[in-house]
Structure formats: C-alpha cells, structure tokens
C-alpha cells in the first residue's frame, strides 16, 4: 500500500536525521528505483524544473535566549531566525503539478498555494496522495535529478552545502536522488544569496544570485468586540530595485493544533495592515476556545537558466509565526 510505504520511508528518514541530516523528500521522495522514460540521448522526457528554496523563520516565544531567561531585545541583538535551505531537481510525466506537489511534499508555492491578490481562500492541509490517485496514472514517472553538490552563500558570514543522497527504491515510478536539507540558526538576514553548483549528468552547472525579502516584524491581535476579527500588523517592505521581482506577501490562519485540516490563506498588499474578517473566521470553522496559529511571509522569486531543465528558480522567503487566542 502506498500510504504504508510512505510511513516506512518516514521512519527511515527519522533515523537518517539522527545520523546528521534530514531528507527533503518528506517520505516518498526517498530516491525510489524504477523506469524513467528517456529520449535517444538518454535525457528524461516530460516537464522538468529545479527549485532552490531558502527560508528564514521567526517563531514567537521559541528563541533560545528567551528560554534562558534573556530576551534578544535585552541581549542587544536581532531575534533568532531558523534557516532552512532545500533543493529539488525533477523531471516528471503523466502527473499534474498538483499531484506532483503532494507526492513530493513540495514547499509552499506563491502561485500554486496562494489565492489571487487581495483575496482569501480556505485550503485543505492534507498532503497525502491516495493510492487510487496514483494507480490511475499507469504511465506516471518522476525522476529526481542530480546537479552535484549545491553551495549556498548566505551573505558574507555563512554558507551551507546541500548534498545529494541515494536511497533504495520503494515506488516503481520514482527514481533518483534527494538533497539533504540544511538547517541553522542565525540572527541576521543576508543581503544577497548566491546558489551555485558544478552540475551533474542531467543538470548543468549554474550560479544564481538574488536579494532576499525583508522581515515583517509581525504582530497579531484578536478584536474581542462585536465584529470579532483578527488584526495583523507588520513593517511594510522597502521599494524593490527595478531589476528585482516584487515580493509576494501572504498571511495564513489556522487552528494551532498540529492536526488541523484546514487553513485560511490570503495574498495581501504589503502595506503593513490586514484584518481577518468575521466571515472568514466562520468559514475556517475553528472552535471558540481554540488557539490560532498565525503566519505571515514574503517570497521573492528569481528564475535562471540551466542546462537540462525547463525552468529553474531560486526562491527566497522570510516568514513569522505566532499563536493567539481566538477572538
């Protein structure tokens, strides 16, 4: 059964994490063996993409300095940020992008996983792809490509390396490698991120450079008045340089319970203020006594060319999370 195989792989990845690294694949990505359609030159057929994602996350109340009884503000430094760098290089066929995203547990995508600008939408959070859905795609194939070791320079003081890892197969239509996920803690955002690789057999060498978005400094307050809304406030971003893409800004609200099945996501203007209206809280269907998890973030996307891929993207983001009582 597919779901059983996913659980077995999660167990395997937990042991790998204990040994010093975490697989990006989230379970089913674990480099399964199997056939992959190729052309006469041995190159994978179908759609292909590369994604290097670097995120800086601030979570209220979890800073190590606060745990030790000393806040960052008292210590005279910026709040701690959790850095996560991940990468995927994928060639696939006979699967929709939505199926692929669920199968590979891809990170939040500004185009696929957010509504239109100035709107909100309820999203189901389940990432499982049922066995019936996969069985209906008899010609499906997913090839996880190698691009060599990836080096990510985060400003002048820090760099991380993502290494491709091979795993024994569990699914007949998924093959290749996954990249270890790099994690660290820092107190500052880099002005510029540079990602580079010497390339592999299927994916060429590249250098991609982009400036990441600024932190939001998010605050959230439930309005306990008759309207019962959630007021979100943050620091608006400075204007981007002409050659840079405009950041995408979003907010998310859900039950703080880890098993929550739904989330409200809104794509918002980066003007520093947004209110979650009562009707949206009603559609989310949270219990009156529930705690709410609030997240806000900014994405900046930089597309670049690399041999062997239809599209390659360096995606930089900052996000902040906090928990409040429901209004």
- DSSP result, 235-272: PPPPPPPTTSPPPEEEEEEEESSTT--EEEEEEE-SSS
Is residue 16 a part of any domain in this protein?
no
Q: Does 38 reside within a domain?
A: no
In a domain, 176, yes or no: yes
CA dihedral (190, 193, 194, 195) in degrees, to 10, reads: 120
Task: Name, in order, each residue with C-beta under 8 angstroms of 252's C-beta and a sequence gap of 6 or more.
Answer: 263, 264, 265, 266, 293, 294, 295, 296
Give 173-186 pLDDT, tens digit per residue.
Answer: 788 999 989 999 98
Lowest mean pLDDT: which of 135-139, 238-242, 295-299?
Answer: 135-139
- 188 vs 156, which has greater pLDDT? 188
- Concatenate the DSSP letters of all residues of 179-209 into one string: EEEEEEEESS--S-EEEEE---SSS--EEEE
Helix (H, G, I), strand (E, B) or coil at 295: strand
Q: Show the DSSP H helices in the chain as ranges.
A: 2-18, 64-67, 72-75, 97-104, 131-135, 278-284
Task: Please tell me the predicted confidence (pLDDT) of residue 30.
Answer: 30
pLDDT digits (tens, 9 = 90+) for 28-72: 333 333 334 444 444 444 699 999 999 999 986 433 333 334 445
Domain assignment present for residue 132? The answer is no
Residue 3 lies in a domain: no
Distance CA 97, CA 93 (A): 10
d(CA 53, CA 50): 10
The pLDDT of 106-111, averaged and rounded, is 91
**What are the backbone angles phi and psi of residue 100, rounded to the nearest 5°?**
-60, -40
Residue 135 binned pLDDT confidence (cut-offs 50, 70, 90): low
Residue 262's domain comprises 43-126+140-325
Q: What CA–CA distances, in Å, run from 13 to 21, 103, 175, 320?
A: 9, 16, 17, 27
Domain membership of residue 6 (yes or no) is no
Does 20 reside within a domain? no
* Total domain count, the chain: 1
The reply to whether 179 falls in a domain is yes
Q: Is residue 126 predicted with pLDDT exceeding 80?
A: no
Tokens 């939505």, residue located: 98
- Please give the helix or strand (H or E) that residue 48 lies within, else none: strand 47-59
The model's confidence at residue 16, banded by pLDDT at 50, 70 and 90, is: very low
């Amino acid at each position: 059964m597919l779901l059983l195989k996913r659980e077995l792989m999660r167990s395997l990845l937990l042991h790998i994490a204990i040994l010093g690294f975490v697989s990006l694949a989230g379970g089913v990505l674990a480099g399964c063996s199997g056939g992959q359609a190729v052309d006469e030159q041995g190159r994978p057929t179908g759609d292909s993409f590369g994604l290097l994602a670097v995120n800086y996350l601030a979570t209220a109340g979890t800073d190590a300095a606060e745990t030790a009884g000393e806040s960052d503000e008292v210590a005279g430094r910026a709040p701690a940020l959790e850095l996560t760098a991940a990468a995927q290089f994928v060639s696939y066929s006979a699967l929709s992008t939505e199926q692929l995203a669920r199968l590979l547990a891809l990170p939040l995508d500004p185009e696929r996983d957010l509504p239109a600008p100035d709107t909100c939408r309820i999203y189901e959070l389940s990432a499982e792809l049922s066995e019936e859905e996969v069985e209906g795609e008899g010609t499906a194939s997913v090839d996880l490509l190698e691009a060599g070791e990836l080096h990510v320079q985060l400003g002048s003081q820090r760099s991380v390396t993502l290494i491709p890892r091979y795993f024994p197969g569990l699914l007949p239509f998924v093959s290749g490698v996954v990249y270890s996920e790099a994690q660290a803690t820092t107190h500052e955002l880099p002005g510029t991120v540079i990602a580079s690789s010497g390339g592999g057999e299927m994916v060429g060498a590249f250098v991609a450079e982009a400036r990441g978005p600024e932190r939001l400094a998010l605050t959230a307050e439930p309005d306990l008045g008759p309207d019962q809304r959630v007021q979100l406030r943050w620091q608006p971003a400075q204007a981007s340089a002409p050659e840079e893409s405009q950041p995408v800004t979003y907010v998310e609200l859900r039950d703080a319970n880890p098993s929550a099945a739904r989330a409200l996501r809104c794509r918002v203007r980066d003007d520093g203020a947004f209110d979650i209206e009562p009707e949206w809280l009603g559609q989310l269907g949270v219990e009156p006594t529930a705690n709410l998890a609030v997240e806000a973030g900014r994405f900046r996307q930089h597309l670049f060319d690399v041999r062997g891929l239809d599209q390659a993207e360096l995606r930089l983001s900052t996000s902040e999370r906090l928990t409040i009582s429901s209004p």
